[in-house]
Amino acid sequence: MKRNNTVLTLAALLLLICAQLAHASNNFRVDIREVEGIVHRVVPDVTVDSVSMSPVPGLYEVVINSTDSSKGVLYLSVDKRHLIAGSIIDTKEGMNLTEARFMDVSRIDLSSIPLEDALVLGNSGAKNRVIVLDDPD
């Protein structure tokens, strides 16, 4: 009888934990304008491109775009009190999660670069291309 009570108690506890996790994931809704207002108080010359849950529980990942079109990744606590600029390192995997995300959001779609006036060296119909951007000034 004692064993049945223990099993029932553990099952109820597991169900409660699962319900809390489901509730937390459904409560992710955040107003991007509100986050942009918070970010602007600290970094006024940026726009907020996106807000999502970060790999660390309790933090939002905020992707920003500066006036010179460079991207960045910030973190905002879910209570919206702390804005964090810095890297998140997964100590188990030894991976810089912020750097990986930054590389992802900074990726340029090469098909969007106009090449009509480009100086072409070699075969213009080659399968692989190297694009060099230069400022002559």
For 36-89, the pLDDT digits (tens) are 999 999 988 899 999 999 999 999 999 999 888 789 999 999 988 999 999 999
Q: What is the pLDDT of residue 15?
A: 57
For 86-121, the pLDDT digits (tens) are 999 999 999 999 999 999 888 887 778 887 888 888
Q: Measure the CA angle with vertex 91, ends 87 and 94; round to 5°.
A: 85
DSSP string, 54-90: -SSTTEEEEEEEETTS-EEEEEEETTS--EE-S--EE
d(CA 37, CA 58): 19
Neighbours of 41 (CB within 10 A): 8
For 4-18, 21-35, 62-76, which range has the lowest pLDDT when averaged over its residues?
4-18
